[in-house]
Amino acid sequence: MKRLLLVPLVVTFLKVIATSGVDAAGASLKFGGVSFSSGSTVQANVPLSAQEKSLAGQGGNPVPPYAVAVLATPANFNPAKSWPVLVVCSTSDFKRQNRDDLRDFYKRTGLAEGWVLLAGDGPQHARNDTAAWRGAMTLAAISALHHSFPGSEKWPVACAGFSGGGKGVGYVAPLLARNGCRVIGIYMTGANEDHLSDGYARIQPGAEFLNAAIYNGGHEVNDAQTSIALGWFREQAK
């Protein structure tokens, strides 16, 4: 009888240990050296490479000492698995930064669709908000992702931009591809000019880039079209 009574106690004890292990693993995640847990948004100051400093300084911009990278993850995020990454390029209106559009336009739907969201900015607004500046800060954020989670360099990447950000991804997306990212999709809304053709010609990311799916939307970002675009990109990546 005593042995039978011990069984549920042992099972309960093992469950407590297992649950504690999961909690500890979630709390021990780090991005850019900053601890975070799955389902949260984390911000880290990350270094700039020589290439990124060169890009940031174009147009007379003072080169900052670091970039600010922001990562948002779903509640079930486990870096041992492969995750699609949505890289955000914000509109330049009202001095918005990439992380602002990540939070306001894409985070809710992106997380619900099972995407990791990433944005890179300078510590302050750029004197001249150039495509090179956006590219430098985004590359620094991507580098932080790859250094934080081994194997993430193989994760599929899509780029999203609204209005001026839609023009910006025309350069950011090929730049990411040129630097080794597997770009599967480009989501542009409210962009009234084609900068992607020029970006491809200037940056020359390679023929594989031409396989990326392109989704154009109206002059707004709404959850419905974001959901459609992200779902389509995942299907194209299979």
Domains and CATH numbers, the chain: 2-237 (3.40.50)
Bridge partners (DSSP) listed for residue 69: 44, 120
Element (H or E) spanning 131, and its range? Answer: helix 131-148
pLDDT at residue 11, as a whole number: 39
| Backbone phi and psi for residue 91, each to the nearest 5 degrees, phi listed first | -65, 150
pLDDT at residue 192, as a whole number: 79
Q: Of 57-66, 160-169, 198-207, which gets the smallest average pLDDT?
A: 160-169
Question: What is the tens place of the pLDDT at every residue in 122-154?
Answer: 999 999 999 999 999 999 999 999 999 999 999
Q: What is the mean pLDDT of residues 21-38?
A: 75
Bridge partners (DSSP) listed for residue 110: none
Whether 88 has a pLDDT exceeding 50, the answer reads yes
3-state secondary structure at position 86: strand
DSSP annotation of 209: G
Whether 4 has a pLDDT exceeding 50, the answer reads no
Which residue in the block uniquely carries the two structure tokens 């779903």?
A: 74
What is the rounded distance in angstroms from the CA atom of residue 232 to the CA atom of residue 141?
25
Is the pTM value of this prediction over 0.75? Answer: yes
pLDDT at residue 93, as a whole number: 73
Whether 157 has a pLDDT exceeding 50, the answer reads yes
3-state secondary structure at position 60: helix
What is the rounded distance in angstroms from the CA atom of residue 29 to the CA atom of residue 32?
10
